[in-house]
């Protein structure tokens, strides 16, 4: 089963790209079949069906997200990836409230 399909996630992708693609030095490519976003060569986000993975959060930011019901560690093929946090997004309107975390992941990638 693919992590990302355009038919399921196009609207979230479009909203996400509207936010991040104007930021300096953001590039987009596909990895593992998913749209992946980098800054200065470091991945800071990846889209998957049903959510956004952020890969550059510090421990406090991860804890803040994980304390709610909208986030969990990303699990790939049964393996928990504790460096990556999956934010569940079902509707494009939900993307906006996670912008501070998306920005934080981006800024760490820019260092």
Q: Residue 92 carries which DSSP code?
A: G
Work out the burial of residue 86: count CB atoms within 10 Å of its CB; fewer than 13 is exposed, 13-18 middle, 19 or more buried.
Answer: buried
From first CA to last CA, the distance across the chain in angstroms is: 34
Q: According to the model, what pLDDT value does residue 104 have?
A: 99
Q: According to the model, what pLDDT value does residue 18 have?
A: 98
Tokens at residue 91, please?
């509707």
Question: What CATH number has the domain spanning 6-110?
Answer: 3.90.1150.30
pTM of the model: 0.95
3-state class (DSSP) for residue 17? helix
Domain ranges in the chain?
Answer: 6-110
Q: According to the model, what pLDDT value does residue 2 have?
A: 63
Cα dihedral 52, 19, 26, 1, rounded to 10, equals 30
Measured CA to CA, the distance from residue 51 to residue 17 in angstroms comes to 14
- Which residues of the chain are under the pLDDT cut of 50? none
Q: How far is CA 91 from CA 10, 13, 20, 35, in A?
A: 11, 11, 17, 18
Q: According to the model, what pLDDT value does residue 90 have?
A: 85
């Amino acid at each position: 089963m693919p992590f990302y399909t355009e038919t399921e996630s196009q609207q979230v992708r479009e909203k996400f790209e509207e936010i991040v693609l104007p930021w300096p030095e953001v590039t987009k490519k596909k990895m593992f079949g998913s749209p992946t976003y980098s800054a200065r060569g470091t991945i800071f986000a990846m889209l998957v069906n049903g959510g956004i993975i952020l890969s550059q959060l510090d421990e406090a930011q991860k804890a803040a997200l994980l304390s709610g019901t909208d986030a969990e560690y990303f699990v790939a093929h049964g393996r928990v990836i504790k460096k990556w946090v999956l934010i569940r997004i079902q509707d494009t309107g939900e993307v906006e409230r996670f912008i501070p975390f998306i920005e934080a992941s981006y800024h760490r990638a820019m260092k």
